[in-house]
Amino acid sequence: MKMTIGEVAQAINANTENFDKAKLDESLTGVCFDSRKIKAGQLFIPLVAEHDGHDYIDNAIVGGASATLWGADHVDRLPLKIPALVVDDPLAAFQSLSKYYLDKINPRVIAVTGSNGKTTTKDMIAAILSSTFNVTKTQDNFNNEIGLPYTILQMESNTEFLVAEMGMDRPGQLDFLSKLAQPDVAVITMIGEAHIEFFGTRDKIADAKMEITHGLKADGFFVYDGDEPLLRARAQQVDVVKSTFGREAVDDIFATDSKDGQYQTDFHVNLWPEIDFAIPMMGDYNVNNALAAISVGRIFRIPPEIMAQKLTKFDLTKNRTQWLVGAKGERILSDVYNSNPTAAKEVLNAYQNTSVNGRRIAVLGDMLELGTQSKAMHASLVEALDPAFIPVVYLIGSDMAALYEKLKPVYAPENLHYYQADQLEQLTTDLQAELSANDEVLLKASHGLHLENVVAKLVK
């Protein structure tokens, strides 16, 4: 983002009476809402949540902030060292600024959501499109009402495509994000149980996911999992060009003869059977994410051989089925960003077929936001755990106790370990003591369990 303070003020209708008007011509180089990460020349966004961002303005100034948004309800303590753009609501102004900047740069927008696979699919789409176009994509987990505006404002002026991941945990959230971004293409990877605590049924989750089409341009495209009846039925109500992907012959794009390897999954696509496709990750379920990305590439006429080349070495966001090497030489499969029953079973099924000289060890943490069905859904993972293939299991979290009870008759006591959520350090210590160079360890949990801290200590 490169705009003058005056342009920003005009875009969000901010009050600028409190500072020297000569400052309006000064340039801003970006935005930041974390005073600890501010860089010289940036606009500070003081958001109000658990903490009030206005309280950290001094830190932002020391860090190099050139200007700040400022809530009208905080004018009794206006900063004097840098220009303060006074607005009714800094978050709403931040979102309005992103909409202004999006219209100014005018890239084509690909919006991606889904209960599983949206981050991987986003990464794959960005890789394919970057073969021909200048692409900006969502980084890390910036996929909500704060993350999407931030992603938009990170775009360089030459951006031709914005690939935006959109998350949700309540009705109406995707409606807002979609209408803000006004996508040219909306993608739904699949419907699962994620956030079922807030929705109650998969039907209602599907309704909420379909909100991603609410801002879809009239001449846009809707790409979705054609093997999901809940989406097929709802897609009929969307009056745009539609494209389906999946495993059935009725889909526009479907995979054939998929072969799951430890570090790579190979497959073919019905439209170009002569081309070998491969993705640098395990799990046949990830082929569907690739099919979604291929569907988008096809819309923008990327040659299939180029798509195959880009998918072979695409840049995957960390902690999504990411293979690492531990301090002892053990192989670590880190999939700790998020978890739900569908995703956990899929990765466990893939993991039990890996080639290993030692033992396969699984570390599973609570899957959050599953509501009243949570204990039963945790217990259902028993069907994906067999001591013949995964001989050692570590469980952590209150709801994992339900799975622990199911596994007690199946696993020897010395190979089944259970910890409360606040015993992460003890789990780490015990796991480090157990691991040997020939072992493999899978870690899978919702982010709230912070298994990434375990991964960090294992790889030291």
Which residues make up each annotated binding site for ATP?
114-120
Q: How far apart (Å, rounded) are the C-alpha atoms in residues 91 and 238? A: 31
Query: Strand order of the sheet with strand 331-335?
Result: 322-325, 331-335, 440-444, 360-365, 392-396, 416-419
Q: Which two tokens stand for residue 109?
A: 């927008």
**Amino acid of residue 254:** F
The DSSP annotation for 156-192 comes to -TT--EEEEE---SSTTHHHHHHHHH--SEEEE----
**Contact at 8 Å (CB) between 130 and 313?**
no
Phi–psi pair at 144, nearest 5 degrees:
-120, -160
Q: How far apart (Å, rounded) are the C-alpha atoms in residues 390 and 256? A: 29
Query: Strand order of the sheet with strand 30-32?
Result: 30-32, 42-44, 67-71, 84-87
Q: How far apart (Å, rounded) are the C-alpha atoms in residues 61 and 40? A: 9
Q: How far apart (Å, rounded) are the C-alpha atoms in residues 57 and 35? A: 7
**Contact at 8 Å (CB) between 394 and 363?**
yes
Q: How far apart (Å, rounded) are the C-alpha atoms in residues 230 and 250? A: 16
Helix axes 5-12, 90-105, angle to 10 degrees: 110
Instruction: Answer positive or negative: Cα dihedral of 10, 184, 140, 123.
Output: negative
Cβ contacts of 400 within 8 Å, gap of 6 or more: 364, 365, 366, 378, 418
Helix axes 304-312, 118-129, angle to 10 degrees: 120
**Amino acid of residue 445:** A
Q: How far apart (Å, rounded) are the C-alpha atoms in residues 373 and 200? A: 9
> 415 in helix, strand or coil?
helix
> 127 in helix, strand or coil?
helix
Q: What do you get for the CA distance between the two ends of the chain, in Å?
A: 37
Q: How far apart (Å, rounded) are the C-alpha atoms in residues 284 and 353? A: 12
Q: Report the binding-site residues.
A: 114-120
